[in-house]
Structure 1
Amino acid sequence: MATKAERFAKPINPAHLPQGFAVAATYAGIKNAISPSPSKPPANPKPDLALITTAVPVAAAGTFTKNAFKAAPVVLSSNLLLQGASSSNGSRAKSVLVNSGCANAVTGMGGYEDASRCATLVSELLPAENQEDNKTLLLSTGVIGVPLPMGAIQDALPRIADKDILNSSEQSWWEVARAFMTTDTFPKLRAKTFNLGGRKCGIVGIDKGAGMIHPAMTGPQGTTGGNRQLHATLLGLVCTDAPISPEALQSALEHAMARSFNCISVDGDMSTNDTVIALASGLAPILPDAEGGELALEPGEEITEQGHPQEYAQFVEELTTFCKELSHLIVRDGEGAEKFVEIDVRGAPTYEHAHRIASSISTSALVKCALHGSDANWGRILCAVGYADLPSAGSGQQKKWEIDPLKVNVQFLPRSGQGLPDDAAVPGSLVVLKDGAPVGVDEAEAAKLLEKEDIFLRVDLQGGSWGPAEGAKESATYWTCDLSKEYVAINGDYRT
């Protein structure tokens, strides 16, 4: 069978890359600097430091971990975006510096000072009419509780900030994606184009993560503290040349996160460094057939939620779909994972109810072990449904909603990659629970379905205590993987 890298590490079409960005990556020896190895590094080591730049400040947005022990780069980047949001020009940045090998998390004020120094060094190396506008956001991943090797980083930065090295080729983007990796088995890079407001927009995305994956990111905010030895994981970067304002970009990114990265789980552990940053240069070219006609957007005009509702809604849809594809790559590359599991919960009173139940199923170690063993153990699934931490009744709800055990249906369905099947009678589907009662199944047939790499699980609450007539029709989807012995082996070794 082909490896994950062979199946999921796909080359990108250079015609899909957005305009206005230049990138570079290099090997700085970060991991070796914090944990010296007696052996020499390979002749062509994987890059571990990358820079993404723009000629002028562009619209910037970000979502960050809710973990109380936020890493220094999380605090610094969220603070920069918050400061920008309060200005008349909105949140804008000129560059993003990425390092792998050291998370710079739980490193006290010294860690924040190192992060600030990294941002300053980049700003000093890049040309700018006004250095105050030369803002740099940071993405860091790797070992927690270890200071950044500033000497190694400072020595390597001039190599990737050189104007003769920075470029926008697909190969350079590929090297940047490699620089994101820690325990990942392949670079996670995607690009595509879409038409918006009379312009042909490009979008490119990179993410990384394989373990310590259960993000719950929100808009800019931050604190510091603590002391722990772990590996911090999920990072993401999306760059587009769509003409969208910083405020609209932030709103669109948060919407996309709620339906993509915040709906994945490998092991139920939320990292100190989870961050996804989005940049929009606004340099998308006008479509040939739009020239000479009436344009939805004038040159230099940016999409806003209120001023361009149709274009904004389309951008949100494009970004959400793109982020889903990126987030799925993380689940597929989960440490030791052999199966990709899609969990659909429906018949709930709100999206939040459905999301929390799907999350509960996705993080159950017993459910994940059963899936690894191709066991249709609906008892473990129901258990996770039953103890889900449901939100309190909202002010608009006339009465409390509860799960009705006599209404719950559970089934496994074949997943063809053509979207979610809606028909409960899909050929090959396996109903294991109907109206709260077990359904006799052929264990051999069940094993055949669950031995597949892609598994689709549906839990239908059928409205619970309200019933569909009272509005309990919401659904949510989560993506997770199985739990294998390999995951334990990887995470039992502190050196990984």
Structure 2
Amino acid sequence: MRHSSTSTKAQRFVHPIDPSTIPHGFTTSATYSGIKAAISPKPAASSSSPSSPPPKPDLALIHSTTAKAPAAAGTFTKNAFKAAPVVLSSKLLVQQGRRARSILINSGCANAVTGKRGMADAEKCVAQVGGLLQEGGVDQGEASTLLLSTGVIGVPLPMDTISKHIPGLVTDVQSPSSSASAAEKWHETARAFMTTDTFPKLRTRTFTLGSSSTTYRMLGIDKGAGMIHPSMSGPKSSGALHATLLGFIATDAPIAPAALQSALEYAVERSFNCISVDGDMSTNDTILALANGAAAEGLKEIEEGSEEYTAFAEELRSFCEELAKLIVRDGEGAEKFVEITVKNAPTRQHAHSIASSISTSALVKCALHGSDANWGRILCAVGYAPLPTNTDGANEAQGWSIDPQKVTVKFLPAKGASQGEELVVLLDGAPQKVDEEAAGRLLQQEDICISVDLQGGQWSGGGAAASAKQATEEATYWTCDFSKEYVAINGDYRT
């Protein structure tokens, strides 16, 4: 649907959270520490107006108060230039048996491409939080802290200002003050994640698992607006620019560490790894999850293979999809939210690769911004999409290829839209006569859906064996348009 120019993204997508949906056993605290001011080359203002709002938080700590450290899981960027917090958190997850007590978040400085100093600074942050937690009574083996950092690349963390503010955060999460409600504190923590984001991205939900009547809760925060094209995987057992996509998910369900990692990887592959704003993969992309089991004391941790695990994995996937879509909606300069579905491919990986190719095409994204139903640009991106290969370099679906004479492309109104109708622009490889007025009305909407049906493609060799092979898999990607505002934002290195 279209929205009036007076309706901001924040007004439409920032939702107050119901306190009853906040996972039990988690506390949080956020503060402004002046990270960006400490590293920014811009001169500081001589004075602030008395009416100026206070700066947004840039440092936050999330903590579990449960007796036992929560199960922890993470997925991390595949970029070769992994930031220090990415390397350290991935390492700590494995070393600590996939359990962690706290998450320290900072915005304004990514601590990426900062060499040995960057790693030393990350380790100092972990050590300081852990030491203060131990002083507060947390067992040393239960005090592990993971890190999330976002902001400018190539600049060291301003450790003086960060170290000065960590003690206050630790005190607050261990003995929460009554000055702000839990919902308000989570909102401020979501703001602490933000860089070029225009609104904080915070969601909660409640759910049950299998035949159990126990109510569990889930809370998620993520951030990102530019340099968005994640490809994340889990930590291994063996051991630009603005850096960008971060996410955190907390649940009070009792999920075993290995099961949580498996469920998170499944969810991320079908959500965060299916979004793109500009086709650039960050050095810092990280999604962390904690499950502390505080919903019901004494429940056995859920393991893979159970009915409850299957239900939880799907719940997490759905939740991650909801969070991931918020990032696309807040894409830098974005005015359109675009869902691209590729159907009837031989594997999900093939469909995913083709949908990704369309989503990252600058020509497609510019056409969408101009409300132009340019199916030729879509077909071009389909045709050059790199198809997934196995370890021998061969096509994973041996003998399969796209059949240009079968491909059908449609523009569709968004789900739940009150107006608009299906617009077929290519049918069985042949262009169709398009009602330009109808196309304009459809593509001027904020939400647009594109369907690319490969109709099974073709298998080489012919004969009964080839005709018996099926290609029925599909994948969906979410992306946005390119506007002049995107160029303006990214043309200023100080943003």
Instruction: Give TM-score, length-normalised by structure 1.
Output: 0.90
Give the CA deviation at 1:398. Answer: 7.8
Label 1:379 to 1:43 Cα distance change in 2 as closer, same or farther (>3 A).
Answer: closer
Label 1:481 to 1:43 Cα distance change in 2 as closer, same or farther (>3 A).
Answer: closer
Label 1:321 to 1:380 Cα distance change in 2 as closer, same or farther (>3 A).
Answer: same
Contact 1:23-1:166 within 8 A present in 2 as well: no
Give the CA deviation at 1:133. Answer: 2.4
Match of 1:38 in 2: 44
CA distance in 2, matches of 1:152, 1:396: 52
- In structure 1, the residue corresponding to 2:70 is in which secondary structure? strand
**Which of the residues 84, 105, 110 maps onto 1:72?**
84
Match of 1:237 in 2: 248
Match of 1:488 in 2: 487
CA distance in 1, matches of 2:399, 2:390: 6
CA distance in 1, matches of 2:30, 2:467: 53
Label 1:417 to 1:318 Cα distance change in 2 as closer, same or farther (>3 A).
Answer: farther
Equivalent AA in structure 2 for residue 11 of structure 1 = P
Give the CA deviation at 1:399. Answer: 3.9
Label 1:440 to 1:231 Cα distance change in 2 as closer, same or farther (>3 A).
Answer: same
CA distance in 2, matches of 1:494, 1:221: 34
Label 1:170 to 1:370 Cα distance change in 2 as closer, same or farther (>3 A).
Answer: same
Match of 2:58 in 1: 48
Residue 272 (structure 2) pairs with residue 257 (structure 1):
no
- In structure 1, the residue corresponding to 2:102 is in which secondary structure? strand
| Residues 360-439 of structure 1 mapped to structure 2, 5 A cutoff | 360-392=357-389, 399-417=398-416, 428-439=421-432
Match of 1:60 in 2: 72
Residue 438 (structure 2) pairs with residue 441 (structure 1):
no
Give the CA deviation at 1:125. Answer: 1.5
Contact 1:217-1:274 within 8 A present in 2 as well: yes
**Mind listing any 5+ residue stretches in structure 2 that lack a counterpart?**
460-465
Equivalent AA in structure 2 for residue 413 of structure 1 = L
CA distance in 2, matches of 1:468, 1:12: 53
- In structure 1, the residue corresponding to 2:357 is in which secondary structure? helix
Contact 2:37-2:44 within 8 A present in 1 as well: no
Residue 159 (structure 2) pairs with residue 144 (structure 1):
no
CA distance in 1, matches of 2:350, 2:396: 13
Give the CA deviation at 1:185. Answer: 0.2
Give the CA deviation at 1:164. Answer: 3.6
**Which of the residues 338, 353, 369 maps onto 2:350?**
353
Name the stretch that deviates more: 348-357 or 467-476.
467-476
Match of 1:459 in 2: 452
Residue 345 (structure 2) pairs with residue 332 (structure 1):
no
TM-superposition CA deviations, 1:253-297 (whole Å, max 9, x none)? 0000010000000000000000000000111138xxxxxxxxxxx
Match of 2:204 in 1: 191
Contact 1:74-1:222 within 8 A present in 2 as well: no
TM-superposition CA deviations, 1:8-54 (whole Å, max 9, x none)? 01111110000110100000000000115321465511000000001
| Residues 8-407 of structure 1 mapped to structure 2, 5 A cutoff | 8-35=13-40, 37-39=43-45, 40=47, 42=52, 44-55=54-65, 56-84=68-96, 90-126=97-133, 127-162=136-171, 163-165=174-176, 169-196=182-209, 197-221=212-236, 229-285=240-296, 299-306=298-305, 309-392=306-389, 399-407=398-406
Query: Identical aligned pairs, as a percentage?
Result: 63
CA distance in 1, matches of 2:268, 2:74: 10
Contact 1:69-1:223 within 8 A present in 2 as well: no
- In structure 2, the residue corresponding to 1:28 is in which secondary structure? coil
Give the CA deviation at 1:393. Answer: 6.2
Name the stretch that deviates more: 49-58 or 310-319.
49-58
Equivalent AA in structure 2 for residue 238 of structure 1 = I
Name the stretch that deviates more: 363-372 or 131-140.
131-140
Label 1:412 to 1:133 Cα distance change in 2 as closer, same or farther (>3 A).
Answer: same
Contact 1:361-1:384 within 8 A present in 2 as well: yes
- In structure 1, the residue corresponding to 2:477 is in which secondary structure? strand
- In structure 2, the residue corresponding to 1:93 is in which secondary structure? coil
CA distance in 2, matches of 1:272, 1:284: 35
Label 1:166 to 1:369 Cα distance change in 2 as closer, same or farther (>3 A).
Answer: farther
Name the stretch that deviates more: 215-224 or 348-357.
215-224
Give the CA deviation at 1:492. Answer: 0.4
Equivalent AA in structure 2 for residue 344 of structure 1 = T
Extract structure 1 runs of 4+ deviating beyond 6 A: 393-398
Label 1:223 to 1:335 Cα distance change in 2 as closer, same or farther (>3 A).
Answer: farther
TM-superposition CA deviations, 1:299-320 (whole Å, max 9, x none)? 23100013xx210000001000
- In structure 2, the residue corresponding to 1:155 is in which secondary structure? helix
Give the CA deviation at 1:445. Answer: 1.0
Equivalent AA in structure 2 for residue 239 of structure 1 = A
**Mind listing any 5+ residue stretches in structure 1 that lack a counterpart?**
85-89, 287-298, 419-425
TM-superposition CA deviations, 1:122-147 (whole Å, max 9, x none)? 11122344213210000000000000
CA distance in 2, matches of 1:300, 1:83: 25
- In structure 2, the residue corresponding to 1:331 is in which secondary structure? helix
- In structure 1, the residue corresponding to 2:400 is in which secondary structure? coil
Label 1:357 to 1:285 Cα distance change in 2 as closer, same or farther (>3 A).
Answer: same
Contact 1:70-1:222 within 8 A present in 2 as well: no
Name the stretch that deviates more: 331-340 or 166-175.
166-175
- In structure 2, the residue corresponding to 1:57 is in which secondary structure? coil
Q: CA-atom RMSD, angstroms?
A: 2.1
Give the CA deviation at 1:347. Answer: 0.8
- In structure 1, the residue corresponding to 2:232 is in which secondary structure? coil
Equivalent AA in structure 1 for residue 254 of structure 2 = P
Give the CA deviation at 1:392. Answer: 2.6
Equivalent AA in structure 2 for residue 284 of structure 1 = A
Contact 2:346-2:470 within 8 A present in 1 as well: yes
TM-superposition CA deviations, 1:397-426 (whole Å, max 9, x none)? 7841100000000000111348xxxxxxx9
Equivalent AA in structure 2 for residue 320 of structure 1 = R
Contact 1:68-1:223 within 8 A present in 2 as well: no
Aligned positions, number: 466
TM-superposition CA deviations, 1:52-102 (whole Å, max 9, x none)? 001241100000000000000000000011223xxxxx3100100000000
- In structure 1, the residue corresponding to 2:303 is in which secondary structure? coil
